[in-house]
Amino acid sequence: MPDPIFADPRLAVVYDAFEDPRRPDLDPYVARAHVPGTRRVLDVGCGTGVLAARLADLGLEVTGADPAAASVDVARTRGDRVTWLHLAAADLPPLGADLAVMTGNVAQVFLTDDDLDDALAGVARAVRPGGRFVLEARRPQARAWETWEPVEEHRDVPGVGRVERAFSLLDVAPPFVSFRQTYRLRGEVVVSDSTLRFRELDELEDALTRRGFSVDAVGQAPDRPGLEFVVDAVR
């Protein structure tokens, strides 16, 4: 089940307010979509649809898929230039995608090997032979959780009002790291707990290979040097 931050309608509508509006983390994926021969693009775990909408602005045929209905509802407000699908990666249909992307922490929400395998099977089904798949995941060696300090912040969100968010680390038991986000809005307190799995590069490569992908290159996120694996694979 998706975490409340994505699945609870009260939280999905305020999610983007706490993100950097410039979203430099998405720029490399937009650049990849400029590769000649790329016409159909799939955003796996599209969330509120920020990247999918940017890709559609390029004139591409874009599909955004996410298992959290509340996030997809927000994404749909960005217009019908994107085909929005409310479904999990494991349930993706054949789409003939030239490029599929899995940004942010999406690759790390699959906590078991079977969950990841099912998700990659769905992506493989959705991508045409010879198509590309790019995913990112945090490097375990960077131990990013050691920099996750308790945070309290607020935003004024149109249509909602003042929203307060508190972040706290719950548990570190590598490869699993859990954290909590607590929101105060409209007189309510809403809590969202999340757990991420930090996989080694060889684990990601083996999982991709099992589902018919060949790893072509491994890089890093330009805006977060040394912190991420960015894996380019070919179906």
Query: What's the CATH code of the domain at 213?
Result: 3.40.50.150
Please list the residues that pair with 17 across neighbouring strands. Answer: none
Mean pLDDT of 157-185: 97
What pLDDT sits at residue 93? 98
The span from the CA of 166 to the CA of 106, in Å, is: 22
pLDDT at position 1 over 90: no
Domain check: are 115 and 29 in the same one? yes
Residues near 172 by beta carbon (within 8 Å), at least 6 away in sequence: 145, 178
Residue 34: pLDDT band (50, 70, 90) is very high
Domain check: are 184 and 170 in the same one? yes
Mean pLDDT of 177-198: 98
At 71, the amino acid letter reads S
Mean pLDDT of 134-144: 97
pLDDT one-digit tens code per residue, 79-106: 999 999 999 999 999 999 999 999 999 9
Residue 21: pLDDT band (50, 70, 90) is confident
- Which helix (H) or strand (E) segment holds residue 227: the answer is none
Domain check: are 14 and 52 in the same one? yes
Domain check: are 114 and 223 in the same one? yes
Mean pLDDT of 218-230: 94
What pLDDT sits at residue 176? 98
pLDDT at position 13 over 90: yes
Q: Is the pTM of this model over 0.85?
A: yes
Q: What percentage of the chain reaches a pLDDT higher than 90? A: 98
Instruction: At 159, list the tokens.
Output: 């249509």
What pLDDT sits at residue 219? 95
Q: What percentage of the chain reaches a pLDDT higher than 70? A: 100
| C-beta of residue 40 within 8 angstroms of C-beta of residue 96 | yes
pLDDT at position 132 over 90: yes
Quote the Cα angle for 134-57-91, to 5°.
45
Domain check: are 13 and 38 in the same one? yes
Domain check: are 102 and 214 in the same one? yes
Residue ranges making up the domain that contains 153: 142-195
Domain check: are 164 and 86 in the same one? no
Q: Taking the CA of residue 146 as centre, how many other CA atoms within 13 Å lie in the half-sphere pointing to its CB?
A: 7
Domain check: are 226 and 152 in the same one? no
Residues in the chain: 235
Domain check: are 108 and 217 in the same one? yes
Residue pointed to by tokens 């749909």 = 76
Domain check: are 159 and 209 in the same one? no
Residues near 116 by beta carbon (within 8 Å), at least 6 away in sequence: 107, 110, 199, 207
The span from the CA of 43 to the CA of 47, in Å, is: 9
Domain check: are 63 and 147 in the same one? no
Number of domains in the chain: 2
Domain check: are 109 and 30 in the same one? yes
Mean pLDDT of 182-198: 97
